[in-house]
Structure 1
Amino acid sequence: MTTFRITADGRLLEAEWHYEDVPPEDRPYANRDDVDEGDFRYMAGCRKRIHDGWNERDDYHGRFEITRSFEELDSLVTYQVTFTHGRLEGFERLR
C-alpha cells in the first residue's frame, strides 16, 4: 500500500520506505514456547517498514480516491482527487 500526502499548496508527495529485518526475540510470537519455526506465527513481525522521507510526484496525472475514517462521524468518508503534473486540480466528496 502506498502512502501519499497532499501539501497545503496542493503538491502530491509519496512516502519512501525501506524494510529492515526484525530478530526473532523482538517479534510478537517467535519467542513463545508454543511457536516453532514451522508455525506461520513465527514470521509475524519479521520485517519493519522504515520511513525515509517524501518524494514529490510532479509526474502524476489522474484521479484516485481517498477513504478516511473520522471518530466523531463514526463512518468512512471518500473523496475523489484529481492531479495534473502532481498539482491538485480537484477535490470532491463522494460519500
Structure 2
Amino acid sequence: MSQTIEVILKDTLDAVSDAIELHKNGQPAPLSISFLNKTKLELEQMIKIMDPSVYKPAYPRFALDWPDDSELMDKLFSASYMYGKIKNKK
C-alpha cells in the first residue's frame, strides 16, 4: 500500500510543480506561489519520510475553503488523506 501512496504523492508533487511553473511563466495557476512552494516542500518530506506519525503536514483553513474546484486541490486533499492512512510496522 505504501508504494501506491508514494505514486499518489509523486503525482501530486508533479502537479504542484506544474502549477509553480505556470506562475513563473506568468500564466494563470491555482493557489498562490508561496502556498505551492510550501506544499512542494511538504510533499517532498512526505515522500522521504513515509510515516505520518513522524511527519504530517496540515493545510491552513483557507486551503480547505478555497473557492476554486481545481483538480490540484482534489489531488492535495486525496494525497494527504492517503498519506495519513499509512500504517508502519514497528
Q: Same fold (TM over 0.5)?
A: no
Alignment TM-score, normalising by the size of structure 2: 0.19
Tell me which of the two structures has the higher relative contact order, counting C-alpha pairs closer than 8 angstroms and 6 or more residues apart. 2
Alignment TM-score, normalising by the size of structure 1: 0.18
Query: Which protein shows a greater Rg?
Result: 1
Higher helix share: 2
